[in-house]
Amino acid sequence: MTKQITLDELESYLWQAAVDLRGQIDATAYKDYIFPLVFFKRICDVYDEEYQKYVDEGGEEYAQMMMQDSAIQIPEDAHWKVVFNKTEDIGQALVDAFRQIELANPGKKIDDRIVGGLEGIFGDKAIWTNKNKMPDAIIRNLLNSFNKLTLSLAACPADEMGTGYEYLIGKFADDAGHTAQEFYTNRTVVELMAEILQLQPHESIYDPTCGSGGMLIKSLTYLKDKGEEWRDVKVYGQEINAGTSAIARMNLYLHGIHDFSIANDDTLQRPAFVKDGRVQQFNVVLANPPYSIKNWNREAFEHDKYGRNFLGTPPQGRADYAFFQHILASMDEKNGRCAILFPHGVLFRKEEVELRRKLVEADLVECVIGIGRNLFFNSCMDACIIICRTNKGDRSNKVLFINAKEEVTRKNAESYLEPKHIIKIKSTYESFTDIENFAKVATQDEILDNNAKLSIALYVKNNSGEEDLDADESVGVWADLTPNMNKSIDKLLKMIEHEDK
């Protein structure tokens, strides 16, 4: 009987391979080498396990016949064992195996979308054949590290394998410094978003900037944990970074999720999921878009053929409202809901006031939640979660503001939300009532009277009854007041000058 690997053993096993690379390649590149090898070893071990089961049932010939319908095909010359036994040009052997596996496992076209498939899943293959960066000796050490354990389903069930993979993603995010946010969002924040959106069986879910797929997976885990059917949820994602989109696909597979479509392309310029001349609509959309990017095609968005600029065209220096409008356009018209992580600036910045006014008038925003600092790797920035719905019911023309900045725990240089924090924020969202110093329901008219500002501090006062502005909001207020202040000073100086004469 196969001995099951403990989660601690799995995490230690996975991380050790990365430790072996220290000093040999840059930390930001660990994921490009480790993730493909983890995936390669896993699918080969699962394939062997399935094959042996059929051999036990009916012999070799029966097993060969049954394996033709296996979820993932492993060509004989592309197996882990074949590559492991190579003594030279190991990088090229890996590349050959990766290519064979990708070709043997094309995606399936279902309902005008490509589902699953392994094309391109192993990422950039050229990195393996550059012997200056990755000589055979280093690759041999990596293969030896991963060969120590069997990653079959019996030894490592899908949930545990997925948890181990998520652990590795988190470790790489921590190790890679400022580059982490492009593929990793703090999972406790994602859990809060999933708890609020409450994905249901048979629904569709979409992340337009999906990174490593953690938001999609956490939403499915929400269903799993409730004991509800999750396998028929249609999963969609798009990611501009090729390597990161490959990690997302591996991550979904390793969590036992097969009904997914992950596209590698620019969401703003070339949305991958389009239907009847507009972007496709989904029941649940959640995202952590790149913050305030400056290099984007504003002109193309101004004339967007999918009509995503219905609030207007954002300024060149900040694409936040371009992503925001894409997400809103992607919500199902009957029961669509979304949760988006944004910098606080989208709530009050002067250059976006007309966009924000139209947003408030459209009555799509349901809740704005301010979350604590340091919840993003190597960043102390404040962020907010904006919840929107296409059908707000009895919450129409109202927005709930929650100041949850103090609902955070910091331990061992890591900040996270504890279950008690998630429960408090979620219950406040569900009750949709005023809570002194924590939550406030504002009407649409109130918000419009505040120049359409959605700043949490305008509506939720601190203990002294004053506005509790964060750094970004303080700068915004200062910028708003400075022109008038300068005019007043000029007027005062002229009066003084006149008196002197």
> 160-204 pLDDT, tens per residue?
888 888 888 777 766 554 444 455 678 899 999 999 999 999 999
User: Residue 374's pLDDT is what?
Assistant: 74
Token pair recorded at residue 430 = 């569900």
List, in order of start, the domains of the chain with CATH numbers.
1-108+121-158 (1.20.1260.30), 176-468 (3.40.50.150)
Rounded to whole angstroms, the Cα distance separating 133 from 330 reads 43
Question: Distances from the Cα of 268 to the Cαs of 285, 286, 289, 300, in angstroms?
Answer: 15, 16, 11, 9
Task: Find the angle CA(330)-CA(334)-CA(337) to the nearest 5 degrees.
Answer: 50
The confidence score (pLDDT) of residue 180 equals: 45
pLDDT at 259: 86
Q: Give the CB-side neighbour count of residue 257, counting CA atoms within 13 A.
A: 28
- Lookup result for tokens 């592309």: 78
At residue 133, the pLDDT reads 86
Q: What string of H, E and C letters represents the secondary structure of 297-338?
A: CHHHHHCCCCCCCCCCCCCCCCCHHHHHHHHHHCECCCCCEE
Q: What is the pLDDT of residue 388?
A: 98
Specify the pLDDT at position 18.
Answer: 79
Q: How far is CA 275 from CA 62, 280, 390, 473, in A?
A: 44, 5, 19, 39
Q: Which residue, among 418, 359, 419, 385, has the nearest Cα to 288 in the 3D structure? A: 385
φ, ψ for residue 110, nearest 5 deg? -135, 125
Measured CA to CA, the distance from residue 293 to residue 316 in angstroms comes to 8
In which residue ranges of the chain is pLDDT below 50? 177-181, 378, 464-467, 476-483
* HEC readout, 415-444: EECCHHHHHHHHHHHHHCCCECCCEEEEEH
Residue 326's nearest CA partner among 363, 292, 301, 293 is 301
- Cβ contacts of 400 within 8 Å, gap of 6 or more: 366, 367, 368, 428, 429, 432, 439, 440, 441, 442
- Residue 289: left if φ>0, alpha if ψ -120 to 50, beta else—which one? beta
C-alpha separations of 188 from 163, 168, 170, 416 in Å: 14, 16, 12, 6
Amino acid at 397: N
Q: Are 457 and 382 in contact (CB under 8 A)?
A: no
Angle, to 10 degrees, between the axis of helix 30-58 and the axis of helix 90-104?
60
- Helix (H) / strand (E) element for 398: namely strand 398-404
